[in-house]
Structure 1
Amino acid sequence: MDKDDLKEMIQDLDLGSSATKQGRYVTQIIHFNNGVKRTIEGIDTHTIRQGQMTKFKLKDGSYCMINDANVLMIEVFREEP
């Protein structure tokens, strides 16, 4: 296995984000430690990658990164196709 194969495997790895069970696109309301809430619409659940920073792509092609240490709770709602 060469370096490119390993990179592809890591990129394709799905850690089982529970948001994918809601469908391809979801809206999330993220509740932060300081009491602030943010609503993010059009999240492509197939692009969610979790780590210290959770990263995902939106329908409009932009990316969003959230520092997990600052999050208390996330509400997930399915978007209609």
Structure 2
Amino acid sequence: MIKKELKNMIDDLDLQSSIKEQGEYVTQIIHFVGGIKRTYDGIKSDSIRQGQFTKFKCKNGALVMINDANVLMIEVFSEDE
């Protein structure tokens, strides 16, 4: 298997994230260590990938990467179409 095929398989893999149940697009309020909060809206729920960094894409084209070690909690809200 070549590297490109493997990458395509990983990209197509659907881990059935519970966030997808909220709808195609969601808003997240991320609570960081130290009391800092950040709100991201227009998150494409099927673009969320987790690892050492959680990565997701927004409607505006931004790719956001967050270090999981610095996160205490995430609030998720459905966006009305």
Do the structures match in fold with TM over 0.5? yes
**Amino acid aligned to 2:38:** R
* TM-score, normalization by structure 2: 0.92
Identity of aligned residues (%): 65
Residue of structure 2 in register with 1:78 after alignment:
78
Counterpart residue number, 2:8: 8
5+ residue gaps, structure 2, are: none
What are the within-5 Å matches in structure 2 for residues 1-80 of structure 1?
Answer: 1-80=1-80
Paired with 1:53 and 1:2, the residues of 2 have a C-alpha distance of 25
**How many residue pairs get matched?**
81
Looking at structure 2, the residues matched to 67 and 17 of structure 1 have their Cα atoms a distance apart, in angstroms, of 19
Amino acid at match of 1:45: S
TM-score, reference length from structure 1: 0.92
For structure 1, which runs of at least 5 residues remain unmatched after alignment? none
Aligned Cα root-mean-square deviation (Å): 1.1
Q: Distance in 1 between matches of 2:16 and 2:34?
A: 28
Runs (4 or more) in structure 1 with deviation over 2 Å come to 1-4, 14-17
Tell me the CA shift for residue 77 of structure 1: 0.1
